[in-house]
A and B are shown apart, each in its own frame.
Chain A
Amino acid sequence: MPVLVLDAGNALFKHPNSTGEANEKPRAELVLKQMEALGTAAMAVGARDLTLGLDFLRGGAKGAKMKLLSVNLVDKEGKAPFPASAVLSAGTLKVGVIGVSPEGTLPGGQGQPAIPAVLAEAKRLREKDKVDVVVVLAAVPYTLARQMAQQGEGVDFVVQSHEGRGPGSTYRDGLATFVPPGERGRQLARLELSVDGPGAFEDLATASRSQESLKMVEANLARAKERLAATKDEAAKRALEETVASFEARRADLRKKSQASAKGLARTQLLSYIQLGADVPSDPAVQKQVERLEPPGAGHAGHNH
């Protein structure tokens, strides 16, 4: 299956303001280089990518295939230093990717109001570029990213980075689906998509959970019916009849939800996470470069665990 690698931003630095640490710059350069080597197609520009200013980031991105995106960032002259979005192909799937930066003052620039800019760009990608899917790489605070998902007309997925919130699970939030990407390279979020027409994406995980619940409800319903058949007491019968009716209503609802896994749905999504623990070996060449910057046993500044 074709694969597209995207980064939600805040990849390069530990802090949004420079600490003056000697390793700060070479570490960011190494991360940028490795993201390019991994084939990351696009990345949003977050606060922790601008720590050394706009010029450093622009310089690092020069000649790279990886696209740095921001729909709302402007430099001191009021010009957009990066494209707002990119249209990327994953096999036959045409994916519109929008990058968003935090609102307010940033090193070397200013983050303009994010939501109107995202909505306008999503509309443009749908109408002009005829993309199949719109993904927002939201390098903005969690609350703003959630508002973006809730009001996200034309947006399918919002992938958020900013605070390093750690692992989470995907959920539908208003009009779009919210996806936590993980943090510090400890996991990859894997979103499997199938598009066979227009409409909203159905979550196959929801369908799978509904199928499990359906089995339990059917077992409970069978037991309630057995007890009803054996009961002579009128009051107990009435109570059991109510129970049976409630189980039947629940069964009908779950049957409907579990059918989402059936063939014929126009659009489906399935999110899972790939953990990158000690069982995943390091690339020896990259390991050497890392050890030059952070010798083994020297302790890693900034680790809080």
Chain B
Amino acid sequence: MRLRPLALAALALLLVPFVAGAAPKKAVLLFTGDNGGEIAPCG
């Protein structure tokens, strides 16, 4: 039982680099809409 706090501390240390170093999730969403059947350039 005395080993449990040590194990938890080790797990926390292992996880820290993943949490601290996690890069933000970045993406671009491109939206179209209301094309209305258009197929030819219209200016």
Contacts and interface: CB of A to CB of B under 8 A. Distances in A.
B37 A3 contact: no
A1 B27 contact: yes
B27 to A, nearest CB: 4
A2 B36 contact: no
Contacts of A9: 33-34
Interface in B1-43: 22, 24-43
Interface stretch (A26-34, A68-76, A224-232, A239-247): A26-34
B28 A2 contact: yes
B29 A193 contact: yes
Interface string A1-30: 111111111111110000000001001101
Interface string A153-185: 000010111111100000000000001011111
B27 A161 contact: no
Bin chain A's interface residue count: 35 or more
Interface in A110-165: 132, 135, 137, 139, 157, 159-165
A222 B24 CA distance: 39
Nearest to A89: B27
Interface string A193-212: 11110000000000000000
B29 to A, nearest CB: 4
Contact of B37 (A6, A8, A28): A28
Contacts of A28: 37
A1 B28 contact: yes
Nearest to A14: B37
Contacts of B36: 10-11, 13-14, 48, 164, 183-184, 302
Interface of A: 1-14, 24, 27-28, 30-31, 40, 48, 90-93, 95, 132, 135, 137, 139, 157, 159-165, 179, 181-186, 188-196, 274, 278, 282, 290, 293-294, 300, 302-303, 305
19 contacts: A1-B26, A1-B28, A3-B30, A6-B31, A7-B31, A10-B35, A93-B27, A95-B27, A157-B29, A163-B34, A183-B36, A184-B38, A184-B42, A185-B35, A189-B32, A190-B31, A192-B27, A194-B26, A196-B25
